[in-house]
């Protein structure tokens, strides 16, 4: 099993791709990679997500880490593993689903929101806990209050994290952040602006780099 916590700690930001279908995932992933992203998550709510992961795997260099998100069932775990996902992510905590992934040697990041949920998920032996949706419940301030009593728990906030405030979550103790709509904009739709995506992606990566250098 890869050391996902170590990888997240070094790469800091995960691009989360969610759309009605995965028709634009390959060109969008190329733009993200060129801008400096090395972790990309494809959500199963997107039609064709696993096939797109396989296509991106062939299109990009080997140093990119590709994950499948919104994994809630054992069948979805099997499908993601058949697609050779490097890691799995969920919005929820399901011990049975996590165990299935771990038995196959693939790390799983479950989702939680409250302190009790976060601690329960962490105690299941996962590399980190996804805290989502964090934007609507208080943003960076909520993360500070959530993690202060349990600083040993690595958390990855998503859901409302933006290109502009991602570095703030990291400054407040997040091991990494997941950025979705604020990053992708209209790029996942037919004719979407890939140049604008590239600019947003560079902004997100430079924000993380500036924080690391501070």
Q: For 115-193, where are the alpha helices, taking DSSP H only?
A: 115-122, 139-147, 166-171, 181-184
Task: Choose, from 12, 78, 130, 141, the residue flagged as catalytic.
Answer: 130
Percentage of the chain with pLDDT > 90? 96
- Residue 181 and residue 172: Cα distance in Å, rounded? 22
* Inter-residue contact 18 to 183 (CB < 8 Å): no
Q: What is the span of the domain harbouring residue 18?
A: 4-213
What confidence score (pLDDT) does residue 28 get?
98
Does residue 12 carry a catalytic annotation? Answer: no
Predicted pLDDT of residue 208: 84
* pLDDT tens for each residue of 145-157: 999 999 999 999 9
CATH number at residue 160: 3.20.20.70
152 is catalytic: no
pTM: 0.96
Contacts of 94 by beta carbon, 8 Å cutoff, 6+ apart: 72, 110
Residue 41 structure tokens: 């998550």
12, 41, 78, 79: which one is catalytic?
41
Q: What is the largest CA-CA distance in the chain?
A: 46
Q: Domain tally for the chain?
A: 1
Residue 140 half-sphere exposure toward CB, CA atoms < 13 A: 12
């Amino acid at each position: 099993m890869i050391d996902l916590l170590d990888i997240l700690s070094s790469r800091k930001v995960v691009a989360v791709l969610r759309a009605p279908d995965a028709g634009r995932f390959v060109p969008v992933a190329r733009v993200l990679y060129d801008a400096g992203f090395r972790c990309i998550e494809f959500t199963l709510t997107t039609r064709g997500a696993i096939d797109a992961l396989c296509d991106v795997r062939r299109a990009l260099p080997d140093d990119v880490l590709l994950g499948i998100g919104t994994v809630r069932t054992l069948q979805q775990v099997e499908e993601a593993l058949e697609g050779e996902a490097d890691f799995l992510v969920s919005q929820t905590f399901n011990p049975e689903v996590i165990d299935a992934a771990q038995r196959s040697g693939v790390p799983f990041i479950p989702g939680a929101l409250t302190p009790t949920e976060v601690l329960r998920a962490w105690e299941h032996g996962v590399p980190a806990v996804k805290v989502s949706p964090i934007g609507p419940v208080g943003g960076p301030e909520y993360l500070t209050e959530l993690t202060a009593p349990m600083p040993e728990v690595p958390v990855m906030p998503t859901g409302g994290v933006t290109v502009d405030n991602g570095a703030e979550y990291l400054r407040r103790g997040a091991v990494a952040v997941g950025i979705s709509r604020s990053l992708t904009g209209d790029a996942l739709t037919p004719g979407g602006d890939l140049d604008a995506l590239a600019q947003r992606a560079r902004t997100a990566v430079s924000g993380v780099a500036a924080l690391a250098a501070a």
